[in-house]
Amino acid sequence: MVVAAPSPLVSVDRLSAWLAESDPPIVVDLRWYLGRPGEGHAAYLAGHIPGAIFLDLDDDLADPNGFGAPGRHPLPDPAAFAARMAAAGIGDGARVVGYDDVGGWVAARLWWMLDNLGFGRRGIDGESVAVLDGGIKAWIASGHALSTAVSVGPPAAATLTLAGPWTGVIDREDLKDRLGTLTLLDARAPERYRGEVEPIDPVAGHIPTAISAPYGANLDEAGLVKDVPGLLERYSNLGITPSSQSEVVVSCGSGTSATHHSLAMRAAGLPDPILYVGSYSDWSRSGEPVATGPDPGEPPASVEAQR
């Protein structure tokens, strides 16, 4: 019998049932808003899934001096990340479910980080770390209550064993040398890709050869991740199929919403893509050439000259 791979997504109904068990999962609220520090935690305090803890993208899932600098959300040292997660109560043998209110792209960052460092799985009944499909919006829409109760003091520190270093990642110099030889997806909003607006990075536009692939197109009208046929159609339209030979690199503004592609491709049964952690924030801060408009553009002349 062929057993399907565990899904990186958990439905509201499944999470609700898990929370009623004697050994419930650790639920993590990861709400975060670009350019609005502190608002994610404020939203958590105003109401969250009962029992959830809060982790912050800036403070808990990134390190300014980590892998991917000078991007806005470099990856922390794996050992430091493991220690931070253990201090939050995430330990060996636990199940972890992350959620946000923006379709899962912030929660996907925690999923990607734990999965990348080998956080153990629990067989075919879902992965040890997953993302709540539809996030807190789906939880509320299903009639489930929120809580404002917050534990007094931090949770008991756990023992967490993770591997290192980070794998399946690429830095700016390696990516630059390979532009035009791989499939590079840009998960940002189309207007940012085209260079019409840029709310935070120093130069508007996109990395030459990158294909516009906003993460929101991975979702259906209800805000849930599309089913497998829908995802396969979406990625096929981007030139990515189960038999594709080209490597796929995913990017965004700072290596966060790009992980939604990692999540969706895992859910669809496609090979895991490579993550450009620094993404456009690293690229644009480093003086590299950029492209504007709706087309991917050609590799920079300096890259072509080296071939």
Six token digits for residue 277 = 């952690």
- How many C-beta neighbours within 10 Å does residue 2 have? 3
The reported pLDDT for the residue numbered 122 is 45
Q: How far is CA 136 from the centre of its chain?
A: 17
Whether 148 maps to a domain, the answer reads no
Sequence-distant (≥ 6) Cβ neighbours of residue 59 within 8 angstroms: none
Residue 300 and residue 173 share a domain: yes
Domain membership flag for residue 260: yes
Q: Cα 5–165–173 angle (5° rounding)? A: 105
Q: How much helix, strand and coil, in percent to the nearest 5, is found in the chain?
A: 30, 15, 55
Element (H, E) at 87: helix 78-87
| pLDDT tens digits, one per residue of 247-287 | 999 999 999 999 999 999 999 999 999 999 999 999 999 99
CB atoms within 10 A of CB 221: 6
**Cα(134)–Cα(240) distance, integer angstroms:** 24
194 in any annotated domain = yes
Stretch 59-68: mean pLDDT = 96
- How far is residue 214's CA from residue 230's CA, in Å, rounded to a whole number? 15
Q: Which domain holds residue 24?
A: 9-141
**Are 129 and 32 in the same domain?**
yes
Q: Over the stretch 176-230, which tens digit does the pLDDT of each residue have?
A: 999 999 999 999 999 999 999 999 999 999 999 999 999 999 999 999 999 999 9
Q: Which of 103, 124, 141 is the last residue of a domain?
A: 141
* CATH number, domain with residue 38: 3.40.250.10
pTM of the predicted model as reported, rounded to 2 decimal places: 0.94
Residues 207 and 300 in one domain: yes
**Domain assignment present for 159:** no
**Looking at the structure, do residues 27 and 130 belong to the same domain, yes or no?**
yes
Q: What is the DSSP string of 209-228?
A: TPEE--GGGGB-TTSSBPPH
Residues 252, 258, 265, 275: which is the catalytic one? 252
Range of weakest confidence among 51-55, 102-106, 138-142, 155-159: 155-159
Q: Are residues 200 and 126 in the same domain?
A: no
- Looking at the fold, whether 13 and 130 belong to one and the same domain comes out as yes
> Is residue 32 in some structural domain?
yes
Is the residue at 180 inside a domain? yes
Band (pLDDT 50/70/90 cuts) for residue 306 is: low
Is 33 among the domain residues? yes
Q: Are residues 137 and 255 in the same domain?
A: no
Task: Please indicate, yes or no, whether residues 136 and 39 belong to a single structural domain of this protein.
Answer: yes
Domain boundary residue, one of 92, 125, 141:
141
57 and 16 part of one domain: yes
47 with 115, same domain: the answer is yes
DSSP code for 77: P
174 lies in the same domain as 296? yes
In a domain, 220, yes or no: yes
On whether both 180 and 101 belong to a single domain, the answer is no
Question: What value does the mean pLDDT of the chain take?
Answer: 92
How many structural domains are present in the chain? 2
For residue 152, the model assigns a pLDDT of 67
Could you tell me the CA-to-CA distances from 151 to 22, 51, 86, 147, 212 in Å, in that order?
19, 8, 16, 11, 42
Respond yes or no on whether the N-terminal peptide bond of residue 165 is cis (omega within 30° of 0): yes
Would you tell me how many other CB atoms lie within 10 Å of the CB of residue 24?
16
Task: Inform me whether the pLDDT recorded for 121 exceeds 60.
Answer: no
| Residue 219 is a catalytic residue | no
Whole-number Å distance between alpha carbons of 183 and 245: 10
Length of the chain in terms of residues written: 307
Q: What is the pLDDT of residue 87?
A: 94
- CA–CA dist 139, 153 (Å, integer): 26
